[in-house]
Amino acid sequence: MNSSERKKSAGWDDQRIELIIGTLLRAGVLLSASVVSLGGIVYLARHGHTIASYRAFHGDLSSLRSCSGIAHGVMQRSGRAIIQLGLLLLIGTPIARVVFSALAFARERDYLYVAFTLAVLAVLLFSLLGAKP
Amino acid sequence: MSVLLFTVLVALGSLLAGFLGSLTGLGGGVVIVPLLALVFHVDMRYAIGASLVSVIATSSGAAAAYVREGFSNMRIGMFLEIATTIGALAGAFIATRVATSTIAIVFGCVLVYSAYLSIRSRPADSVDEKQDRLARVLNLDGDYPASDGQVQHYTVHRIPLGFGLMFGAGTLSGLLGIGSGAVKVLAMDQAMRVPFKVSTTTSNFMIGVTAAASAGVYLARGYIDPGIAMPVVLGALAGSMLGAKVLVNTRTKPLRWVFSAVIVVLGFEMIFNGFTGRL
């Protein structure tokens, strides 16, 4: 097999992988948007009449800064926690894409790109798990 | 202002931002932060956090449509994402350590520069068929469907320069909560000589992953507030999907000028408010 033939078949494979990735991303976005909407309805029904004030930053006091804090809030059916869960799913969507890309490159036996993809994944996981509140 | 009214107004503003952002290709993030900070008097940190998650939503939502066109290059995207994600992580850490007024000034400068990039006439794609050795090793060259139905082959050049620019694009994304698609396209299109269509679609793919790299830091620092992020994400997502639908049969040039003018005004206002310490 000469190099141009190999390129052609690799191109076809890449094309198919990209199609699957596109669908994966769209599903992730739709799922997270649904969860955010659900949480939004709960939040507005309970707190819609209160006064909104975001002039000052109180984020460092929020309990919704960690996965365990969000899980705890969702158990108590807090609207804000459900929204945050949806946002967590949204952040997870491109990460799922990177995981899938690593598997796809492994199937193509393109180990250089498996290494590149795992490097990206390491940075993403470091951000999500390594950053302490 | 009640929470309900705030939510409705922010959602409408984000819808318009997402709509215009996708029509002009500038992205909604560049308007959402000034909108929240200048109009709704939201703290810069909350504004950046909400904008960043909306960037993930709009880029991932548009990806399916882009993929069908067959322009994006997965390998270029993945290789350069090493640079953008590390940059984004660095940017997010810087964001938590500098004053919000400093971030506002940097943001303003980026706005003015993005407007300039958007309205200047783009230099034509230069066809350079000479093979680049590094591009060959990294298997970055690709094909794309040209307008005449033929398959057009392209080679990638100046990879170290493009990689460095991508690190910068990632840092801006993490620092300001934007997709910084304009800088990503610049790095691929101008520095690496990737065809424009391939650059824009590949950039869209990279934006979501880049933003996810700083989102973890933002979340842990409390920058992502559900009360603000909810209307911003839903509004921007709906707006960008609407924009992608009408994009096909719209003349975008006059719109691009109007949008760029708005961005310049917002940019100078951000810079002014940053210097006077109001943001």
Residue B129: predicted pLDDT = 66
- Give the global pTM: 0.91
- Top pLDDT among B9 and B136 is at B9
User: Which residue range(s) make up the domain with B226?
Assistant: 3-275
- Chain A residues lying within 8 Å of B142, measured CB to CB: 11
Number of domains comprising chain B:
1
Partner-chain contact A25 B231, CB within 8 Å: no
Partner-chain contact B234 A33, CB within 8 Å: yes
Residue B265: predicted pLDDT = 94
For B179-184, which contacts have Cβ atoms below 8 Å and span 24 or more sequence positions? Answer: B179/B27, B179/B29, B179/B55, B179/B58, B179/B59, B179/B207, B179/B210, B179/B211, B180/B110, B180/B207, B180/B210, B181/B25, B181/B26, B181/B27, B181/B207, B182/B26, B182/B27, B182/B113, B182/B114, B182/B117, B182/B118, B184/B80, B184/B84
* Confidence band of B254 (pLDDT split at 50, 70, 90): confident
Residue A110: predicted pLDDT = 92
Say whether residue B9 is in contact with chain A using an 8 A CB cutoff.
no
| Lowest mean pLDDT across A38-52, B64-78, B186-200 | B64-78
ipTM, interface predicted TM-score of the complex: 0.91
Partner-chain contact A14 B75, CB within 8 Å: yes
The answer to whether B72 and B66 are in contact (CB under 8 A) is yes
Closest chain A CA to residue B141: A7
Q: Tell me the pLDDT tens digit for each residue of B113-162.
A: 988 887 877 666 666 667 788 888 898 888 887 777 788 888 899 999 99
Residue A3: predicted pLDDT = 40
Q: Tell me the pLDDT tens digit for each residue of A39-91.
A: 999 999 999 999 988 999 998 888 899 889 999 999 999 999 999 999 999 99
Percent of chain B at pLDDT exceeding 90: 55
